[in-house]
Structures are given as structure tokens and as C-alpha cells.
Amino acid sequence: MNEQAILNYQRIAEAIEFIQENYKNQPTLDQIAKKINLSPFHFQRLFTEWAGVSPKKFLQFISVHHAKQILGTHQSTLFDAAIETGLSGTGRLHDLFVNIEGMTPGEYKNKGENLTINYSFGESPFGKLLVASTSKGICYMGFSDDSEIAFSELNNRFQNAKFILQSDAIQENALKIYTEDWTEIDKIKLHLKGTDFQLKVWEALLAIPTGKLSTYGKLAKKIDNPKAARAVGTAIGSNPIAFLIPCHRVIKATGAFGGYMWGKTRKAAIIGWEKAIEK
């Protein structure tokens, strides 16, 4: 992804933020285009190239009304969907290929001591990101437009680890998730530092199908702890793997999108983008 693509996402993000703030008024194409200083023609073309759908359709995807509709119809799990569609239909169900392995108690307690972590900076449809890996799998993936801030977040999670600025096959495989053809991605392994409860919540997030949404309460029930919605929210907020562990698919019961570690606008962009590419 080149600098122009990054600039395009920045424009798209500004448009999405405007849509979010004004969706009740159903802003017109002209109004949104004017907000980001583009002609309606160029904005329509730019947005459609990025999202695969028109701005009007995308607005529907990220409206509260539509979010409520998705929540109301979301009954089946990812695995149910995979069975229904058959193996040939799992290209969009990338979560099936993500496997979580928790770090050992020693690694957890010692904050990454004796761990060697490779990290590199990449690009996605939603801006720049940092991706890091151990010999066992991806241990961190986060969006950030500032490289120093991104590394600081990684370092805070593994204060005693050895860091090497280096891309590897594990990272390159994981970054393929941002393409629209997911059929050639090898199984993505995650090597995560978390409590048993956090790991359980993160695994439950993987059961939310692409293009669908859930709530904190529903997720708490999913892990057989219906009174733990607040604790579930805290665990979601600690998720160290952006997009691959889809914490962006959890919203409030009211249909409002709620917070996101990497920004509310980015969360809306991902939700709309996933719905747009859902086949």
C-alpha cells in the first residue's frame, strides 16, 4: 500500500467520522464530499474504490438502525456458518484459520523475559500498523500513525523481551488478511500474553462471523458467565491483536458502536468495510 492509499484512507476516515456524527440526518453525497474538500464525483469514486460500495450504502452499514438489525439476526456461530457454506465458502470466514496459544506462566509473570520478538511496520486499509511475532506466532498487532507510540505500546506489554526490527514469514502471512483474497493464507497462530479469562474472551471473539456484530452481554453468555459483561468489556479493551481478534465486532446493546482501542472512527470503518466485502 503506497502513500496515496494512506492519504485516501485519511480522507475516508474523515468522511466516516462525518457520517457517524450526522447519520440521523442522512447527509447527502454533496454534503459529505464538501466536508472533505472533494467534488461529489471524485468522492464517490474514491469511496467506492476503498469500500467496494457507494457512500450511501456504507452509511447504512454503520448506522445504529442497521447495527440493531445485525444484532437481531445474529444467531449462528462462525462454525455453524462454515458448516452451512462448506469449505469452499470459508474464504470470508478467516477466523477459522486463527489459533490462540497462551504464553506460559513464566513468560506471563516475567513480562516476556527470554522472549525474542520480531516486529515490523505495515499498512492496511485502515492505516499504518505495527505487527510483532515470537517463534510461536503473532503476539501483537496494533494500528498507529506514529511509529514511536506503536513501539512504546508493544514494549509496555513485554518489558523484558528482546526486540528485533525485522519482518518474518509469520508476520507476512498475517498481513495477508488485509487483502480480499484470503484463500492462500496459512493458518495464523497467535502467541498471547493474557489471563485465563482474557484468553477465553478473545477466543469467543473469534466466533463472531465476518460482517456480523455482537454485544458485551451476549459475549458474556457465550463464555457461560452472563453476569460478567463489564469484565468482558475490560478483557476486550485489553485485546493485543487488532482485526485478527475482532473486538471491533462487539458493540453496545443499544446499537451504538462504543469505544475502540484504536479509535471509534477506525472501528466504524472496519465494521462497514467487512460488511461491504461480505460475500
Catalytic (active-site) positions:
247
Opening angle at CA 209, ends 24 and 184, nearest 5 = 120
196 closest CA partner among 60, 103, 96, 86: 103
Opening angle at CA 226, ends 278 and 208, nearest 5 = 10
Contact 277, 255 (CB under 8 A): no
HEC sequence for 5-68: HHHHHHHHHHHHHHHHHHHHHCCCHHHHHHHCCCCHHHHHHHHHHHHCCCHHHHHHHCCHHHHH
State the DSSP code for 213.
-
The residues near 121 (Cβ < 8 Å, ≥ 6 apart) are 128, 129, 130, 131, 147, 150
Classify 261 as helix, strand or coil: coil
Contact 269, 13 (CB under 8 A): yes
Contact 135, 101 (CB under 8 A): no
DSSP string, 113-135: TT-EEEEEEEEETTEEEEEEE-S
143 closest CA partner among 154, 157, 156, 135: 154
Grid cell listed for 257 = 458502536
